Amino acid sequence: MPLPPRVPELGALDLLLSVARLGSLGKAARERGISQPAAASRIRNMERLIGVPLIVRSNVGSRLTDQGAMIADWARRVVDAAGELDAGIEALRNEQATRIRLACSMTIAEYLLPGWLSELRRRLPTTTIGLQVINSATVAELLLSGEADLGFAEGAEVSEGLESHVVARDELLLVVPHNNVWAHRRSPVTAHALAGTPLISREPGSGTRYTLDHELERLGYVDRPEPIMELSSTTAIKAAVEAGIGPAVLSSLALAEDVARGKLVVVPTSGLDLRRTLRLVVRAGERLPPVLRDVVAATKTMQPA
């Protein structure tokens, strides 16, 4: 079967994800080791191929259009799959290499796992790491089915048959663009107001979605409006919020850079406890082999302050 004619090449998709994450075409170009004109040309070629505008450039950087955020959401799965394919090819080329199969929720994968993997690579330079970036519910499913060796998930609870160890903590925050009325309010947004507001949300099964839904249900808010959008990418959600589509509730880890740059505004809330734990998850009662104990040790070495 021939490749679909409107699918961009992998390098262009990866460049688009870098623009979304860094908020700058120039920074994305430097990260990829190419010139800014070359990066701009690659984006333009991709826009012509797809037929929609993908980024908007300004004096303060670049942001994804609404269509670009959707393309980035889909592109992330393609790039992740390519990374998994590359890891598999590497394992085939070196049959003596040890392979660790990790399943990781989105927030942990984007903001904590890179440091852990760097430390693990230092400890075990010949180990091949296969990584699936999925939501927290699917992490549990892969562990229980034996399709993953270790998992990282968000939330206070783990499925029966699994046990967990806390590796970090964070808090969910309500964010809006600067032109939203909530950005200038003097009093916090109450749980009642938040429960009645349509949000841009992660998909069901994600740790972020579960934490917010569980807390509002605990407070008695069961019947709530449907989300404005459901996206499986934190980057896409942030782009949608910045574009003024609606508010969102996301991890403080995911928002730190965007808030510091003034791209998004954190709105205080009252009556809600949105703190949560980020966990390393294993099958209950299973004795970890030395290579997996090194993964655990890497997370402890690189735990954020």
CATH of the domain at 86: 3.40.190.10
Answer with the residue of higher pLDDT: 173 or 62: 173
pTM of the complete model: 0.64
Domain hosting 91: range is 77-168+277-301
DSSP 158: -
In sequence order, which residues have a C-beta less than 8 Å from that of residue 181 and are 6 or more positions away? none
Cα–Cα dist 57/37, whole Å: 13
Q: Taking a C-beta distance cutoff of 8 angstroms, is the pair 235, 21 a contact? A: yes
Q: Residue 145's pLDDT band (boundaries 50, 70, 90)?
A: very high
Q: Taking a C-beta distance cutoff of 8 angstroms, is the pair 112, 122 a contact? A: no
In a domain, 264, yes or no: yes
Cα–Cα dist 175/267, whole Å: 6
Q: Residue 119's pLDDT band (boundaries 50, 70, 90)?
A: confident
Q: Are residues 198 and 271 in the same domain?
A: yes
Per-residue pLDDT at 303 exceeds 60: no
Q: Are residues 178 and 164 in the same domain?
A: no
- Two structure tokens written together for 92: 């085939």
- Two structure tokens written together for 152: 């990282």
In a domain, 1, yes or no: no
In a domain, 185, yes or no: yes
Q: Are residues 211 and 282 in the same domain?
A: no
In a domain, 197, yes or no: yes
Q: Are residues 129 and 164 in the same domain?
A: yes
Q: Taking a C-beta distance cutoff of 8 angstroms, is the pair 165, 186 a contact? A: no
Q: Are residues 184 and 270 in the same domain?
A: yes
In a domain, 260, yes or no: yes
Q: Are residues 143 and 218 in the same domain?
A: no
Per-residue pLDDT at 96 exceeds 50: no
Q: Are residues 58 and 119 in the same domain?
A: no
Per-residue pLDDT at 301 exceeds 70: no
Task: Give the whole-number percent of the chain exceeding pLDDT 90.
Answer: 41
Q: Are residues 162 and 131 in the same domain?
A: yes
Q: Where are the alpha helices (DSSP H) in 23-65?
A: 25-32, 36-50
In a domain, 178, yes or no: yes
Region 32-59: mean pLDDT is 88
Per-residue pLDDT at 1 exceeds 60: no
Residues in the chain: 305
Q: How many CB atoms lie within 10 A of CB 219?
A: 15
Region 61-78: mean pLDDT is 88
- Give the tens place of pLDDT for each residue, 241-267: 999 999 999 999 999 999 999 999 999
Q: Are residues 38 and 81 in the same domain?
A: no
Q: Are residues 180 and 260 in the same domain?
A: yes
CATH of the domain at 36: 1.10.10.10
Cα–Cα dist 174/155, whole Å: 18
Q: How many domains does the chain contain in total?
A: 3
Which helix (H) or strand (E) segment holds residue 236: the answer is helix 234-242
Q: Taking a C-beta distance cutoff of 8 angstroms, is the pair 143, 162 a contact? A: yes
Answer with the residue of higher pLDDT: 8 or 192: 192
In a domain, 251, yes or no: yes
In a domain, 112, yes or no: yes
Q: How many CA atoms lie within 13 A of 289 on its CB side?
A: 6
In 3D space, the residue among 296, 246, 284, 288 whose CA is nearest the CA of residue 267 turns out to be 246
What pLDDT sits at residue 2?
A: 62
Q: Are residues 29 and 150 in the same domain?
A: no
Per-residue pLDDT at 239 exceeds 50: yes
Q: Taking a C-beta distance cutoff of 8 angstroms, is the pair 136, 105 a contact? A: yes
Measure the CA angle with vertex 127, ends 124 and 133; round to 5°.
110
Q: Is 251 helix (H, G, I), strand (E, B) or coil?
A: strand
Q: Are residues 64 and 83 in the same domain?
A: no
Q: Residue 302's pLDDT band (boundaries 50, 70, 90)?
A: low
